[in-house]
Amino acid sequence: MDCKRMLEEMNLYIDGDLEQELCQQLETHLKGCKQCRVVFDTTKKTITLYRDQTVLEIPEKIRQRLHQVVREHWEKSS
């Protein structure tokens, strides 16, 4: 399995809807490809957080810094 195919099949794998043979191919690919592993882990964590729907409070200092960075980026791109 190559990286493109892994990305195409990843959601089915995470949802448990991928055929066993393809699951094994995907798992083998993930063991040998650090880039796909990062994408897979990040996607899986994002889905888990979304499903959990726990509201996380951002500390005030971090929230202000985030707003500043977004504002600066927005101004540069305008």
Q: Place 18 in a pLDDT band, splitting at 50, 70 and 90.
A: very high
Please tell me the pTM assigned to this model. 0.63
pLDDT value, residue 50: 84
Class level of CATH domain 3-77: mainly alpha
**DSSP per-residue string spanning the chain:** --HHHHHHHHHHHHHT-S-HHHHHHHHHHHHH-HHHHHHHHHHHHHHHHHHH-PPPPPPHHHHHHHHHHHHHHHHHH-
Answer for the pair 50, 43: CB distance below 8 angstroms, yes or no.
no
**pLDDT tens per residue, range 26-54:** 999 999 999 999 999 999 999 888 888 87
**pLDDT tens per residue, range 48-77:** 888 888 777 899 999 999 999 999 999 988
Answer for the pair 26, 3: CB distance below 8 angstroms, yes or no.
no
**DSSP per-residue string spanning 16-34:** T-S-HHHHHHHHHHHHH-H
